[in-house]
Structure 1
């Protein structure tokens, strides 16, 4: 069954009101129940009880017919909304080209080329390369007929340059698809491949040049690739300049257009995440503010689909800036949202568990953890191997703090069997080393403050500079350091991540 309620939940309040107006306009009979069904779905009314609520009895046949008709109306409404929000510029350009061609056929050359000039300007501003192709095609076709046309050689140069831009965008789209498909093997299946080799081979295959900053969409695709690589290599330090340079270039050229609001939001989130992982929290929050501003555009069309990602990253920034109360309050406010992106909500739950854990609120952390009732295999498919490894690590530490040592032993053995081979192949020896010391601690906690233990720990890890070291790696190490120094965990964590 199509999840109509999930689609409805993504509508803004204004869109919901507009859809009800749309249904009332379409309804030719007063006894049509589509508006009533929409409101029930909007209110998360129990699905099994809806037929009886609508018809006074459990008339499933009539209910399913009504759902199908509501779905059809939803499709029509969403298509109309898309045309209104997304295609208005394209329609305007297309109309100008058609009018210009009509004028040219009637030898109204001066007016026709003025119309084409305007169409060219709009198409260039919105980076719509296929429509630019139509504009240049028409100008070239009639260039020889009138002095009002630009010089033919200039038009040919523009047309040739535009073809390169169009082809570049399509190549990026194909490269993005190929690389992302292969990255699924790393993130979700636990396979280990050379990411650098993959990118080089893919770029070579599609003959992609270095001049790639075309639009928010293409930058988002490239940033996704770079961010995926960074999430595996833990190297966010070296990817930031590349993304920021291209972002600033695109922003300077697209100041007056909302053409790619969806992709603009996504790019800003990626940039914010990179600054967070680099522990540059004010910069991360700055780009999150920009992201929030973009979320208000187009009548908050992309607000609901972006707000959880936004709030999760805001909370993470606050937590590692020393504002743990604000961080916890932000996530507690959204953790029980009914309709959500599963992967984002898993991050929210895990982040909230970490925040509670850092404050010593182990019972609260355990209560939140109890909501993870699926198998590790299920979570691997939904959120990836790395997420599952972090979940297992925090679970081990949580049960150590709660004194559930027998449970820790069984979970430790399971983790070692499942994930040590992957960690070794992925070059994550530090995780294995960390767990070796964790095991020593929970079997003999009195030894952790000894100089011998501290020296063994110090000599066992190779650390990057603070700004380059992964913030989540530091967070786990902070637990061990807090035990060695008998210091509060949160304070120890902040001391590790601050400049």
Structure 2
């Protein structure tokens, strides 16, 4: 049986209300019981008792039929919600293909082919071969309705070449899966291997050509794999040499880089992000500047796609370069956007909270926090557990500063119950250690300036080299250090982040 209740339990209050509205709008009869079933499932009513509650008897046949219809409505609703909030280039192309097909059925051939031509151009810009295949398939199917003697052969030629590119992409996909599995052993089990050797051998295994294997698109996909592992291990310092070396190789080989502009922009962002994580802020800003230059090309075709990520990372660099006012002004401006990528906007809001907090603008930070009205489970799905941990930690420190005693006690207990097992399992015991000292400060603020407390803190943490240490871990520790030495938080943070140990 499909676990409908497991899915709807992830819905926010707003999503629950929207789904009920959707069901009522779709219902053609007043006696439909789908809303009632949804509410019973949401309330975690025992499954065996639901038929009796709905029908007054144990009518399992009617119940299972109703449940199937509710599932169908749930799928439609989730798809509609995704389309409503999705702003990607892929969705834009898909919409154009669907509109063109509808026009073809209405025999509006010229208009439909113009729309398909535009969809082809957009799909080619981002090297989306599966969508290109949809375009060519549709055009070939209706080519006989267009008065052009050479059109069909041109389309067949394009389709064949695209199929070859699509096959190469599928080979790359298999290669990436193998590389990712191997990298997990490299990162988590301590195996030593050359990234270049691993990639070369894997490409040879799957017959990936050099042209496909070394492009901005393939580098971006490889970098995402490596970057995702680094995000868990905090090993960003090990990624940069591989990424920079291959980036320069591709840049020198692909002189007409605008052909790969979409992925070129994404690669530049990844490089800038790695330099930020390494605390090389000037270098990060340098690559962000190059990213902005690429975003300006082709009449700013991909400008909006990269703008939010660019602005958020630029603001973070400003903040750690000592230009907090510029950082806050930029983040405040970005936070007002109406259309945005949800995950990136969550980063924007959290970054703004951190900046406010470091400037002791606690009330402003609290105002931004009020926008986080979903459950932690919901945020884990949207932004990942690392983001949720940061949110909870900064929230805890914020309410200590605001003196919200009862709230702090409950948040300590909640955090310990929810995340201590995960932190121990993932090797992040120092977060637990940090919170132990935070609690000591919270219960007896006067002890943190004592020599005994200082010695205890120094003996409890093992720090990596500055370039290897996670910048956000350092930022949280800076709060404790500022309390210990009675110094300004922002100045303490900058000193800690920018000074070699």
**Could you state the TM-score of these two structures normalised by the residue count of structure 1?**
0.66
Other structure's SS at 1:237 match: helix
Partner of 1:311: 311
Task: State the Cα distance separating 1:297 from its structure 2 match.
Answer: 2.0
Q: 1:220 to 1:4 in 2, by over 3 A?
A: closer
> CA distance change for structure 1 residues 209 and 485 in 2, over 3 Å: closer, same or farther?
farther
Match of 1:81 in 2: 118
Is contact 1:448–1:483 with CA below 8 Å preserved after alignment? yes
CA distance in 2, matches of 1:436, 1:74: 67
The answer on 1:268 being equivalent to 2:234 is no
* Matches of 1:414 and 1:194, distance apart in 2: 29
Post-superposition CA distance 1:384-435 (Å, at most 9, x none): 1111000000000000000012111111111111111111111001111100
- Name the CA distance, whole Å, in 1 between partners of 2:374 and 2:270: 28
For residue 336 of structure 1, report the CA deviation from its aligned partner: 1.9
**TM-score (norm. length: structure 2):** 0.66
The aligned runs of 1:240-319 (5 Å cut-off) are: 240-319=240-319
Instruction: Provide the secondary structure at the position in 1 that maps to 2:258.
Output: coil
Structure 1 residues 3, 447: CA separation in 2 closer, same or farther (over 3 Å shift)?
A: closer
Cα 1:82–1:492 shift into 2, 3 Å: same
Counterpart position of 1:448: 448
CA shift in 2, pair 1:411/1:75, >3 Å? farther
- What whole-Å deviation, never above 9, does each CA across 1:436-488 have from its counterpart, x for those lacking one? 10010000000000000011000000001112211111000000000000000
**Stretch of structure 1 that moved more, 385-394 or 299-308:** 299-308
SS in structure 2 opposite 1:260?
helix
Is contact 1:220-1:266 (8 Å) kept? yes
- Which residue of 1 is the match for residue 495 of structure 2? 495
| Residue number in structure 1 paired with 2:408 | 408
1:176 Cα offset (Å): 3.3
Contact 1:195 1:229 in 2 (8 A): no
Q: Distance in 2 between matches of 1:273 and 1:373?
A: 28
- How many angstroms apart in 2 are the aligned matches of 1:221 and 1:424? 31
Secondary structure of 2:120 counterpart: helix
Within 2, Cα distance between the matches of 1:324 and 1:171? 46
The separation in 1 between residues aligned to 2:206 and 2:434, in whole angstroms, is 41
Which residues of 2 match residues 396-435 of structure 1 at below 5 A? 396-435=396-435
User: Which blocks of at least 5 consecutive residues in structure 2 are unaligned?
Assistant: 1-79, 128-157
Matched residue SS, 1:330: helix
1: CA distance, partners of 2:182 / 2:112? 33
Tell whether the 8 Å contact from 1:223 to 1:270 is kept in structure 2 after alignment: yes
Which residue of 2 is the match for residue 462 of structure 1? 462
Q: Indicate how the Cα distance of structure 1 residues 429 and 490 shifts in structure 2: closer, same or farther if over 3 A, else same.
A: same
Which residue is equivalent to 2:485?
A: 485
> How far does residue 251 in structure 1 lie from its aligned partner after superposition?
0.5
Contact preservation (8 Å) 2:125, 2:260:
no
SS at match of 2:238: coil
On the 8 A contact 2:171/2:207 being kept in 1, the answer is no
Q: Distance in 1 between matches of 2:279 and 2:238?
A: 14
Distance 2:334 2:110 in 1: 30
**Superposition deviation, residue 169 in structure 1:** 5.6
Shift of 1:81: 2.5
Deviations 1:321-365 (A, max 9, x none): 000000000010010211110000000000000000000000000
Q: Deviation at 1:278?
A: 0.5
The 5 Å alignment of 1:160-179 reads 170-176=170-176
**Contact residue 478 and residue 489 of structure 1 kept, 8 A:** yes
Secondary structure at 1:258 match in 2: helix
CA deviation profile, 1:39-83 (whole Å, cap 9, x unmatched): xxxxxxxxxxxxxxxxxxxxxxxxxx9xxx9xx999977643342
Q: Which residue of 2 aligns with 1:233?
A: 233
Count of residues in correspondence between the two structures: 369
CA distance in 1, matches of 2:445, 2:111: 61
In 1, distance between residues paired with 2:235 and 2:124? 39
Considering only aligned residues, what root-mean-square deviation do their CA atoms show, in Å?
Answer: 4.0
Instruction: Map 1:46-445 to 2 at 5 A.
Output: 79-85=116-122, 87=124, 131=161, 170-176=170-176, 194=188, 207=205, 214-445=214-445
Does the residue aligned with 1:372 lie in a helix, a strand or coil? coil
Structure 1 residue aligned with 2:38: none
